[in-house]
Structure 1
Amino acid sequence: MSFPLVSIAIYNSVVFGIFSNTQRLISEHRYGNPNHPPALVDLALASMAAGTVSVGIGGPVDLVKIRLQMQTQTFLEANLNLKHRASGFAIQTAYRGPIHCVCTILRQEGLPGLYRGSLAMILRDLPGYCLYFIPYALLCRWITPDGHLSPSPFSVWMAGGIAGAISWGTATPMDVVKCRLQADGVFLNKYRGVIDCISQSYRNEGLKVFFRGLTVNMVRGFPMCAAMFLGYELSLKALREQAETNP
């Protein structure tokens, strides 16, 4: 968990920064005012921009995390899908830690190796961030009472939590594919790409495999995203107040 913990602040700041600045640029270009309330298509474009850029940072972070989590499987379990551990096979570990994992991937696969599963991540994040930021913005407008310029902290928390549950719930099928592609390659390469991974997963385990972890993702998404949006909005409010006090 050390690598995700170190990088999570940078990752989220980039995602929210890209979304906010893209939205402001679109509003300034379309309406002549960067603070003009965005239309639905404006939110969608800003969300897709954030999703695209997020892969550049999030791809390697997810890859290292998944590789370290999956490496304690035996060689046979990881690559031949045996249901029971064969006797006589000790636990094999490929990486000593996140830095060693990154160095090993770069040495064996080059820079493209750090972005294994990036296409699946793009296919997850483009619609995923649309179903993240758009529901949040719409719910904030709906929950905020008339006459109030900004939503209350509770409104932000509730809207962010619901948006997170929706986003992670709908992103689960492609998240399964992304994780399988990123876990692949520790010992052998099982999948040739996104389509092959989908085909093999469906053929071996059926349609239900793409919804594995759906409940966990939705339950996790609510508090995580609620806290994230609340921290984001409160930080913006504090910065605006500081700028007005010390112009």
Structure 2
Amino acid sequence: MGIFQLEDFAAGWIGGAASVIIGHPLDTVKARLQAGVGYGNTLNCIRTVYTRESVFGFFKGMSFPLASIAVYNSVVFGVFSNTERFLSQHHSREPEASSTRALSDLILASSVAGVVSVGLGTPVDLIKIRLQMQTQPFRGASLGLSSRAAALGEQPAYQGPVHCIATIVRTEGLAGMYRGASAMLLRDIPGYCLYFIPYVFLNELITPEACAGPSPCAVWLAGGMAGAISWAASTPMDVMKSRLQADGVYLNKYKGVLDCISQSYQKEGLKVFFRGITVNTVRGFPMSAAMFLGYELSLQALRRDHAVTSP
């Protein structure tokens, strides 16, 4: 096979769809906790969402990420796999020569995937968070902090993903679609390094040398652990990203990532940077386990079909 393989992109799309379905309820809880709108803890947030909005509240805004994050993960996994493969072949290393991939190649490939993820993922995350946040208690409106919030009263700010995009572009310009991009960049480059690298090494550690490839159980465990590690480490910047992207639904509090860090620290102390770390870590395991399992199984199926159909 050549260096560039489209199967990685297709498998990433399937894995991305699986991860969204598994992880969206906890993602909604995480977004609301991190935005700092009055929930005491994770259990209180879950209870409040269920009481006010029923079980459907946990799936608020899921249609957009289901359609878009699958494509986003397709690109991220495709870019990572093809970059890592290119670097490996560039160094002229035979796969049989070493069972462990070069750490430098994995770091560079993960970093490239992280940069690409910001370009694609910032608008996706922005729309998802805006849709998740718009059913919050309108405390800002009652305080008179925003004429837009007061005018909206109890009405949702957005009627759906398309209306949300149109509203942001109209009120904030095209640049508004990339609100929180700097925080996302600071989150995703180290985050993806701590996502792909633990997965690769844990997979190799769990899989016996006699096996031709990792078992589904090994993929599930390694993927889940990698996701938990990555999301736990990414929580501080994820909090800032969520706050910046939620900003503007009803209020406009932050001028940028540094201002968001400063205001959040002054008002809530150091603990604010770890808001939602429990739900992030817990949510990271099943989401990433589903992501990697969907990716690896579909990749095997695609390559098997390719081998059968190729002359």
- Deviations 1:67-98 (CA, angstroms, capped at 9, x unpaired): 1222234654379699xxxxxx9424321111
User: Paired residue for 1:215?
Assistant: 278
Q: Which amino acid aligns with 1:77?
A: G
* Cα distance between partner residues in 2 of 1:45 and 1:79: 49
2:74 to 5, 10, 13: 13
2:166 counterpart of 1:99: no
Matches within 5 A, 1:136-147: 136-147=199-210
Contact 1:44 1:134 in 2 (8 A): yes
User: Cα distance, 1:33 vs. partner?
Assistant: 5.4
Give the secondary-structure state (helix, strand or coil) at the position aligned to 1:148.
coil
User: Paired residue for 2:196?
Assistant: 133
Contact 2:235 2:280 in 1 (8 A): yes
User: Cα distance, 1:212 vs. partner?
Assistant: 0.9
2:77 counterpart of 1:48: no
User: Paired residue for 1:59?
Assistant: 122
Contact 2:219 2:293 in 1 (8 A): yes
2:271 counterpart of 1:204: no
User: Paired residue for 1:175?
Assistant: 238
User: Alpha carbons of 1:210 and 1:234: their partners in 2 closer, same or farther (altered >3 Å)?
Assistant: same
Which of 171-180 and 36-45 deviates more?
Answer: 36-45
**Tell me, which stretches of 5 or more residues in structure 2 are unaligned?**
1-61, 146-151
* Cα distance between partner residues in 1 of 2:181 and 2:111: 15
TM-score (norm 1): 0.91
**Tell me, which stretches of 5 or more residues in structure 1 are unaligned?**
83-88
Which of 183-192 and 106-115 deviates more?
Answer: 183-192
User: Paired residue for 2:83?
Assistant: 22
User: Alpha carbons of 1:95 and 1:31: their partners in 2 closer, same or farther (altered >3 Å)?
Assistant: same
Q: Which amino acid aligns with 1:16?
A: F
User: Paired residue for 2:255?
Assistant: 192
* Cα distance between partner residues in 2 of 1:207 and 1:143: 37
- Deviations 1:111-133 (CA, angstroms, capped at 9, x unpaired): 11101000000100000000000
Q: Which has the higher contact order (CA 8 A, sep 6+)?
A: 2
* Cα distance between partner residues in 2 of 1:79 and 1:173: 29
Contact 2:192 2:230 in 1 (8 A): yes
What is the RMSD computed on CA atoms of the aligned residues? 2.2
User: Cα distance, 1:2 vs. partner?
Assistant: 1.4
User: Cα distance, 1:237 vs. partner?
Assistant: 1.1
- Deviations 1:4-47 (CA, angstroms, capped at 9, x unpaired): 11112111111110100111111121126589753011001111
- Deviations 1:133-182 (CA, angstroms, capped at 9, x unpaired): 00000001100112222111111110000000001111111100000000
* Cα distance between partner residues in 1 of 2:294 and 2:129: 27
- Alignment: residue pair count: 241
User: Cα distance, 1:110 vs. partner?
Assistant: 1.7
User: Alpha carbons of 1:140 and 1:81: their partners in 2 closer, same or farther (altered >3 Å)?
Assistant: farther
2:214 to 151, 158, 162: 151
Matches within 5 A, 1:217-232: 217-232=280-295
Q: Which amino acid aligns with 1:223?
A: P
TM-score (norm 2): 0.73
User: Alpha carbons of 1:75 and 1:220: their partners in 2 closer, same or farther (altered >3 Å)?
Assistant: closer
Identity %: 67
User: Alpha carbons of 1:34 and 1:99: their partners in 2 closer, same or farther (altered >3 Å)?
Assistant: farther
